[in-house]
């Protein structure tokens, strides 16, 4: 807090005295309560159970958006780098950052009206935090003990899956967040036209008793499985308020004067070598493929300048040092290396098989582009589209399923801790760990050195970084998402609500009798 006495004559006012008809709106407008926000997503299924999410997966990105409506975290991070109290109102740690104490906010209620307890916090976070951390309920809150320093514990707790919930005996999860799940309508054929499928819908209603105040919106309705063009059309026609915008539609959306938001680039598209195909074990082959990749064309032409070349595993906005890495294309050198390789390595009858592990047309196109780039260096790459999880799971090798040599995968950055993110990537991709312990990665210089070592090993080749895009309808107000992609819909309001505004602090409890709360949803 500061008190400033210095008098300064302010204003930008280009001229300060401008001739203007006094047509300005009345004094400060206020937010309105009420209305249903309609959101459309491409994903056809979501899970509101953070215990089920897979690190780095694109599905976890969507799951987290919906879960943030229902659950809270112990702390949050604001746009200014400050940790803010959420379910914890105070925290402290010892000098070694091995022992942390969190004081819980008193009187916080779950959406069914029951009180949040320290035992709930311990039970939920124990299942989500890395093994080895010991969580204990204390008189005023919880303590977390780690055998090694965890200076980035707050970054971890403020992001990713680290929500607090209560698991009921039937595995239903209760949350304390600004909304609760009121209705789930699974995808089903239309009665009038059984050949067409009605998409799945989830309806969230305002939690009147939310500790942070009732949200402005009465409800949020998510429609899942809507294709990108349909979403854009619905936004233009006023049938949706927030839609996802595919990177190849961003330009069109902007040309149509739609309001388009973009996050920091929070998804990495990269190649991972798989020694199931023996050629991938050859370091020279990996180097030749790396040198043939034209990342600029991928980002600027294929992805229409809506992506950026990725020189590193972690983006600059998360690590702060990614600009030090370079991944220049050098076709001549790639050809030289290729010439020194056996003819049947990525050539002749034995092409290097590339599997596209993430769904979507863009990923297929990117896979084709990788093959084209490789061909320019006389490397034969065959694209096999076979959708599976990020990182790629093992597939039985058979004549119908020949061994795969390289995977094209998508990785979503879901932690605000660069150490945790790098560690998750290394684990998920089964990359060889450096001799140093993972804890040393908390030091940025050692983290940089480890990332350089992984990149020089070339078992993973970053290609492009993709931001997340959303189209926002004009009536949506106070849309202030975090640059790392958190939507923060609890503070959004609609200029023209659809339903009768509900008075805040009315004391009315939501009717939870039929609410399934935060149950993991898997249609």
Say whether residue 30 binds other proteins (CB under 8 A). yes
226: Cβ contacts below 8 Å, ≥ 6 apart? 40, 41, 42, 199, 234, 243
Tell me the per-residue interface mask from 421 to 450 with other proteins, x by CB under 8 A, - otherwise.
-----------------------xx--xx-
The burial of 347, by beta-carbon neighbours within 10 Å (0-12 exposed, 13-18 middle, 19 or more buried), is given as middle
Shortest Å, Cβ 56 to other proteins:
17
Among residue numbers 477 through 516, which ones bind other proteins (CB under 8 A)? Answer: 477-480, 482-484, 490-491, 495, 503-505
Max alpha carbon distance in the chain (Å)?
80
State the burial class of residue 88 (Cβ atoms within 10 Å of its Cβ: 0-12, 13-18, 19+). Answer: buried
- Which residues lie closer than 8 Å to 341 by C-beta, 6 or more apart? 282, 284, 285, 288, 347
The stretch near other proteins (CB under 8 A) out of 222-230, 231-239, 319-327, 356-364 is 319-327
**Token representation of residue 56:** 């780095």
Contacting range for other proteins; rule: CB under 8 A; set: 58-66, 212-220, 289-297, 329-337: 212-220
Apex 474 CA angle, 215 and 42, nearest 5: 75
Smallest gap from residue 114 Cβ to other proteins (A):
17
Beta strands 460-466; 267-273: pairing state = antiparallel
CB nearer other proteins, residue 47 or residue 176: 176
**285: phi then psi, degrees, rounded to nearest 5:** -65, -45
Binding residue for other proteins (CB under 8 A) from 89, 140, 167, 438?
Answer: 89
CB closer to other proteins out of 391 and 481: 481
Which listed residue (111, 223, 292, 319) binds other proteins by CB under 8 A? 319
Q: Which of 8, 139, 192, 398 binds other proteins (CB under 8 A)?
A: 8
**Of the listed pieces 11-19, 93-101, 233-241, 292-300, which binds other proteins according to CB under 8 A?**
11-19
Stretch in the footprint of other proteins (CB under 8 A) among 77-85, 346-354, 384-392, 397-405: 77-85
Tell me whether residue 29 or residue 139 sits nearer to other proteins (CB atom): 29
Is residue 16 part of the contact set for other proteins (CB under 8 A)? yes
Segment 92 to 151, residues that bind other proteins, using CB under 8 A: 105
**Integer Cα distance of 414 and 424 in angstroms:** 10
Helix locations, 107-201, DSSP H: 118-126, 153-157
């Amino acid at each position: 807090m500061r008190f400033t006495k210095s008098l300064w004559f302010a204003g930008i006012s280009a001229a300060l005295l401008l001739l203007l008809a006094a047509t300005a709106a009345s004094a400060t407008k206020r937010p309105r309560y009420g209305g249903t926000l309609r959101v459309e997503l491409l994903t056809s299924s979501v899970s509101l159970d953070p215990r089920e999410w897979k690190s780095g997966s694109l599905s976890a990105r969507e799951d987290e958006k919906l879960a943030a409506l229902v659950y809270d975290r112990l702390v949050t991070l604001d746009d200014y780098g400050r940790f803010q109290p959420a379910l914890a109102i105070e925290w402290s740690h010892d000098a070694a950052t091995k022992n942390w104490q969190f004081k819980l906010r008193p009187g916080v209620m779950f959406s069914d009206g029951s009180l949040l307890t320290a035992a709930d916090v311990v039970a939920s976070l124990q299942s989500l935090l890395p093994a080895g951390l010991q969580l204990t309920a204390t008189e005023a809150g919880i303590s977390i003990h780690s055998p090694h320093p965890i200076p980035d514990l707050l970054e971890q707790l403020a992001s990713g899956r680290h929500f607090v919930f209560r698991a009921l005996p039937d595995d239903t999860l209760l949350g304390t967040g600004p909304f609760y799940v009121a209705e789930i309508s699974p995808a089903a054929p239309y009665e009038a036209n059984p050949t067409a499928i009605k998409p799945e819908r989830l309806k969230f209603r305002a939690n009147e008793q939310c500790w942070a105040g009732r949200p402005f919106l009465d409800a949020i309705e998510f429609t899942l499985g809507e294709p990108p063009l349909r979403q854009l059309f619905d936004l233009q026609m006023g049938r949706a308020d927030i839609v996802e915008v595919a990177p190849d539609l961003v330009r069109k959306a902007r040309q149509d004067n739609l309001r388009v938001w973009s996050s920091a680039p929070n998804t990495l598209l990269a190649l991972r070598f798989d020694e199931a195909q023996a050629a991938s074990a050859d370091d020279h082959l990996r180097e030749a493929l790396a040198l043939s990749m034209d990342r600029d064309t991928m980002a600027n032409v294929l992805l229409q300048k809506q992506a950026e070349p990725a020189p590193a595993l972690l983006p600059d906005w998360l690590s702060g040092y990614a600009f030090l890495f370079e991944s220049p294309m050098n076709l001549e050198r790639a050809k030289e290396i290729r010439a020194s390789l056996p003819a049947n390595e990525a050539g002749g009858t034995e092409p290097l098989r590339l599997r596209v592990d993430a769904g979507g047309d863009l990923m297929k196109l990117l896979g084709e582009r990788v093959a084209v780039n490789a061909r320019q260096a006389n490397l034969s790459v065959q694209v096999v589209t076979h959708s599976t999880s990020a990182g790629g799971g093992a597939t039985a090798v058979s004549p119908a399923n020949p061994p795969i040599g390289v995977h094209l995968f998508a990785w979503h950055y879901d932690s605000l801790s660069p150490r945790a993110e790098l560690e998750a990537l290394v684990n998920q991709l089964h990359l060889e760990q450096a001799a140093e312990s993972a804890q040393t990665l908390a030091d940025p210089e050692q983290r940089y050195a480890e990332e350089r070592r992984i990149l020089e090993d070339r078992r993973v080749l970053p290609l492009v970084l993709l931001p997340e895009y959303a189209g926002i309808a004009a009536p949506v107000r106070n849309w202030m998402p975090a640059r790392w992609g958190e939507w923060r819909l609890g503070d959004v309001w609609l200029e023209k609500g659809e339903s009768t505004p509900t008075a805040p602090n009315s004391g009315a409890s939501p009717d939870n009798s039929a609410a399934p709360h935060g149950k993991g949803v898997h249609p």
